[in-house]
């Protein structure tokens, strides 16, 4: 009974992590740290090695399950999936019908996240500013030079899963933020929402499966490299990461996608497929309500939410210390 309760609590913590990872700017890794499972999570992921592979393929399933801390990982992943499946439809609705407020909320989340990453850097040196500026330039370049619509091909979904999962286990940066930069956040939320609502087609299920395969491959292949990078170049990694987040704010600016803003207020203009013609966007851009007051309010809510999470995390860390 004790073990069942233990893993039930792990599932609840997974639900909290999943909720965080659905929102760009809130890190599931931070939630894992706050709830006291971060070290066990990293240790369990790192245990998926050649020894585990040998145990699996020699039919020693019980030893394999114990080696990778299977009960813990299963309970945690179950909680994360419950959360993501529950929130995907809500996020799709908000992005379609309340885009300015939603993106403003994300903007506030991400600004606060970058500030807290930079707070961890003490005794700044000239090379630190160089690394930060490099990260900012990299973020701006990636977000402005990459096409607004990235490929929907399965190869790109596989890549997105591999990259996003690595961010998910790092405190301070979220996997959904990476999907946002890669142009696949709204797409994946839409696919999951269709599956949950029963409207999913075969290709939607294939897309999710490919994403999960990419995530599994990514976390096994890259988690050790990320761990090594943070061990040997912790300061430089944090600086470039913070700079990248700051630079990528150009993509999260609430009015960067006027197509969506216009369609949220004039749904009758929504084309059967494709995008609105540029002349229609130009015509309606001056007619839409920009919701500036609401955007400021929601950005502040996002900012305060991250501050609250980070303060709680610090308090918990001090109590443990």
- pLDDT-wise least confident of 110-114, 166-170, 253-257: 166-170
Question: Span 289-294, mean pLDDT?
Answer: 91
pLDDT band at 230 (very low <50, low <70, confident <90, very high): low
pLDDT band at 237 (very low <50, low <70, confident <90, very high): confident
Question: Span 290-317, mean pLDDT?
Answer: 86
Percent of the chain with pLDDT over 90: 19
Q: What is d(CA 310, CA 106) in angstroms, rounded to the nearest whole number?
A: 16
Question: Span 27-37, mean pLDDT?
Answer: 73
Q: Show me where the domains of the chain are located.
A: 2-255+290-320
How would you write the chain as a 3-class SS string?
CHHHHHHHHHHHHHHHHHHHHHCCCCCHHHHHHHCCCHHHHHHHHHCCCHHHHHHHHCCCHHHHHHHCCHHHHHHHHHHHHHHHHHHHHHHHHHHHHCHHHHHHHHHHHHHHHHHHHHHCCCCCCHHHHHHHHHHHHHHHHHHHHCCCCCCCCHHHHHHHHHHHHHHHCCCCCCHHHHHHHCCCHHHHHHHHHHHHCCCCCHHHHHHHHHHHHHHHHHHHHHHHHHHHHHHHCHHHHHHHHHHHHHHCHHHHCCCCCHHHHHHHHCHHHCCCCCCCCHHHHHHHHCCCCCCHHHHHHHHHHHHHHHHHHHHHHHHHHHHHC
| pLDDT higher at 49 or 63 | 63
pLDDT recorded at residue 272:
65
Question: Span 280-294, mean pLDDT?
Answer: 87
Question: Span 112-126, mean pLDDT?
Answer: 84
pLDDT recorded at residue 65:
94
pLDDT at 151 > cutoff 60: yes
Nearest to 262, CA basis, from 233, 221, 291, 225: 291
Question: Span 183-198, mean pLDDT?
Answer: 87
pLDDT band at 144 (very low <50, low <70, confident <90, very high): confident
The answer for 150, left when phi > 0, alpha when psi is -120 to 50, beta otherwise, is beta
- pTM of the shown model: 0.73
pLDDT recorded at residue 320:
62
CA 106 distance to own-chain centroid: 11
């Amino acid at each position: 009974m004790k073990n069942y309760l233990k893993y039930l609590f792990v599932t609840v913590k997974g639900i909290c992590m999943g909720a965080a990872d659905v929102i760009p700017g809130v890190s599931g890794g931070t939630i894992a740290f706050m709830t006291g499972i971060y070290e066990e999570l990293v240790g369990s992921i790192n245990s998926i090695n050649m020894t585990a592979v040998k145990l699996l393929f020699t039919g020693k399933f019980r030893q394999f399950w114990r080696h990778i801390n299977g009960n813990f990982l299963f309970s945690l992943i179950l909680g994360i999936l419950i959360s993501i499946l529950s929130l995907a439809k809500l996020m799709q609705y908000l992005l379609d019908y309340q885009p300015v407020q939603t993106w403003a909320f994300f903007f506030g989340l991400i600004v606060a996240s970058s500030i807290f990453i930079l707070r961890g850097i003490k005794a700044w040196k000239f090379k630190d500013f160089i690394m930060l500026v490099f990260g900012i330039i990299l973020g701006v370049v990636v977000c402005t030079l990459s096409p607004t619509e990235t490929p929907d091909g399965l190869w790109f979904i596989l890549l997105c899963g591999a990259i996003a999962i690595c961010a998910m286990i790092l405190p301070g940066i979220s996997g959904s933020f990476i999907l946002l930069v890669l142009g696949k956040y709204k797409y994946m939320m839409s696919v999951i929402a269709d599956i949950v609502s029963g409207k999913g087609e075969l290709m939607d299920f294939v897309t999710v499966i490919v994403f999960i395969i990419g995530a599994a491959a990514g976390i096994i292949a890259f988690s050790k490299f990320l761990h090594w990078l943070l061990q040997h170049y912790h300061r430089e990694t944090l600086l470039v990461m913070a700079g990248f987040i700051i630079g990528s704010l150009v993509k999260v600016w609430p009015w960067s996608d006027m197509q969506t803003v216009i369609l949220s207020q004039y749904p009758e203009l929504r084309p059967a497929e494709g995008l609105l013609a540029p002349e229609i966007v130009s015509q309606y851009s001056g007619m839409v309500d920009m919701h500036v007051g609401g955007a400021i309010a929601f950005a502040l809510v996002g900012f305060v939410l991250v501050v609250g999470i980070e303060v709680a995390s610090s308090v918990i860390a001090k109590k443990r210390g």
